Amino acid sequence: MQQIINFIIRNKNFLLSLLLFSISMVFTIQTHSYHKSKFINSANFLTGGIYNSINNFTGYLSLKSQNQVLAEENSRLKMLIFNSENKKDSTYLDTITYSGTYKFTLANVIKNTYSGANNVLLLNRGKNDGLKEDLGVISSKGIVGIVDGTSKRYATVISVLNTVNKISAQLKKTNHFGTLFWNAKSPYYIQLIDIPKIAPIVKGDTIITSGRSSIFPKGIPIGIIHGFKLDAAENYYEIDIKLFNDMTNLEHVYTIENIDATEIDNLLNKKVNE
């Protein structure tokens, strides 16, 4: 017993380091799986409040470019209204075309990161505004991410620039679908894998969300094909996509809630259980 206590006293620095290091590792590993980062996220009273007040201040700096983005969106929506005969050529960004299945909420990005490998955004809307886990987040130009954690007034969003993210996407002209991921190299490009070799792929084609999960509706623009090659087994394409969204400059975003999501999920789970 004496020896054990002596050992602990002699190596207390090492043991303390080891303990604290393991705690950090647990936190780190938790962030690599969905909806586990409960303790260490920025959607709490203190950090959310600080980021909110900073954003109140720095928001003025990007006012001009954000106005430009909103004006562009306005003009596109106006165009949609005035040309509503040929709906098929238009993008699916407004609620009208979904006959009320999707509920949109406006939010501001109060913290944006894109330099790390697992980027998380912070929104100034939370549970009080009806946000919850697994809502899609888009901007006027394309997808942004998926809501991860929520507090009363703030929500964290797993950005598309996150190595954890797996979003289903497809070609706009055919229905071949694959999975989006990010190789953490450039904030302007993401990667699409598992597109079968048979799909007709041309540089410059548009990629949209596939609507195969209940998170994003079908048809939200993602980006255009920048380059592609076959994978090692030569069965699937690996595609580099240039994002429509400038992820380095985000201010106004929308969260999408699929009102039928629980119904769809229940149905799918029932199928699995039987």
| Min separation Cβ 228 and other proteins, Å | 21
Nearest to 192 by CA among 167, 217, 214: 167
* Cβ neighbour number for residue 102 with a 10 Å cutoff: 20
* C-beta separation of 33 from 103 below 8 A: no
How many degrees, rounded to 5, is the angle at CA 159 between CA 120 and CA 213? 130
Interface region with other proteins, contact rule CB under 8 A, candidates 12-20, 123-131, 235-243, 262-270: 12-20
d(CA 185, CA 250): 19
| Min separation Cβ 24 and other proteins, Å | 3
**Would you say 78 or 185 has its CB closer to other proteins?**
185
- Residue 261 exposure: Cα atoms within 13 Å on the Cβ side: 17
| 75 binding other proteins? (CB under 8 A) | no
* Residue from 6, 10, 11, 24 binding other proteins (CB under 8 A): 24
| 40 binding other proteins? (CB under 8 A) | yes
**Rg of the chain over CA atoms, in angstroms?**
22
Residue with tokens 């190299």: 185
| Min separation Cβ 145 and other proteins, Å | 12
**Would you say 118 or 214 has its CB closer to other proteins?**
118
Applying the rule CB under 8 A, the residues between 132 and 171 that interact with other proteins are 156, 163
Binding string, 234-263, against other proteins, x = CB under 8 A? --------------x---------------
DSSP character at residue 211: -
| 32 binding other proteins? (CB under 8 A) | yes
| 120 binding other proteins? (CB under 8 A) | yes
- Residue 85 exposure: Cα atoms within 13 Å on the Cβ side: 0
**Would you say 51 or 228 has its CB closer to other proteins?**
51
> Across the strands, what pairs with 104?
256
* C-beta separation of 188 from 142 below 8 A: no
Interface residues toward other proteins, by CB under 8 A: 12-14, 16-17, 20-21, 23-32, 37, 40-42, 44, 47, 50-51, 54, 113-118, 120, 122, 156, 163, 184-187, 248
